[in-house]
Amino acid sequence: MRGFFLLLFLFPLLLAGAQQTPRPDVPEKLAAPAAEQLVLKVHATGSQVYTCRAAADQKLVWTLKGPEAELFDANNKSIGKHYAGPAWKHNDGSEVVGKVAVRQDAPDTTDIPWLLLTAASHSGAGILASVTSIQRIHTKGGQPPPSGCDDSHRGAEIKAAYSADYYFYAPSH
């Protein structure tokens, strides 16, 4: 019971801290809805994992399997993981799975695209439990190699190092 009251006391402070972080400057189509407030900003570092597979036209191409990344807060403290789904799991036990709503090429074409995602599902209780929108911006790296996916590498996996900033939004109350 004491933990519950502590959470009730701390949650508004966590939200207040997030509100002090301004929304990022992004192209309009990547903006989170105005009725939502920023609840968490994290920096991710890790890999985008690709598998060499046949595309619809039967040509072999590097296909995204999913991310494998660690999430860090403003103090560079590890606070969670990002993995295929796409899903984000916070150390508090909350998790959100997203669905891409809008995609835009990164300013540098050697970086993976910037995204606006909507929440598809949640689990656990914590900061990600009420998230409705997620932005992926400021990406660095993560693109598959331009070559190397051939018959001798069919089914092979490759990891492309990347980093990105993720902004999580929830309805304003």
Residue 124, classed as helix, strand or coil, is coil
- Tens of pLDDT, residues 15-73: 444 446 789 989 899 999 999 999 999 999 999 999 999 999 999 999 999 999 999 99
Residue 27 lies inside a defined structural domain of this protein: no
**pLDDT exceeds 70 at position 2:** no
Domain total for the chain?
1
Residue 55 lies inside a defined structural domain of this protein: no
Q: Contacts for 96-101 with beta carbons within 8 Å, 24 or more apart?
A: 96/121, 96/122, 96/128, 96/129, 96/131, 96/134, 96/168, 97/121, 97/122, 98/134
Instruction: Please give the helix or strand (H or E) that residue 14 lies within, else none.
Output: helix 2-20
Residue 53 CB: number of other CB atoms within 10 A? 15
Maximum distance among all Cα pairs of the chain, rounded to whole angstroms:
60
Residue 29 lies inside a defined structural domain of this protein: no
Residue 57 lies inside a defined structural domain of this protein: no
Domain that includes residue 124, residue range: 2-22+35-48+68-143+161-171
Task: Report the pLDDT value the prediction gives residue 20, as an integer from 0 to 100.
Answer: 65
- Tens of pLDDT, residues 100-117: 999 999 999 999 999 999
- Tens of pLDDT, residues 142-156: 999 999 999 999 999
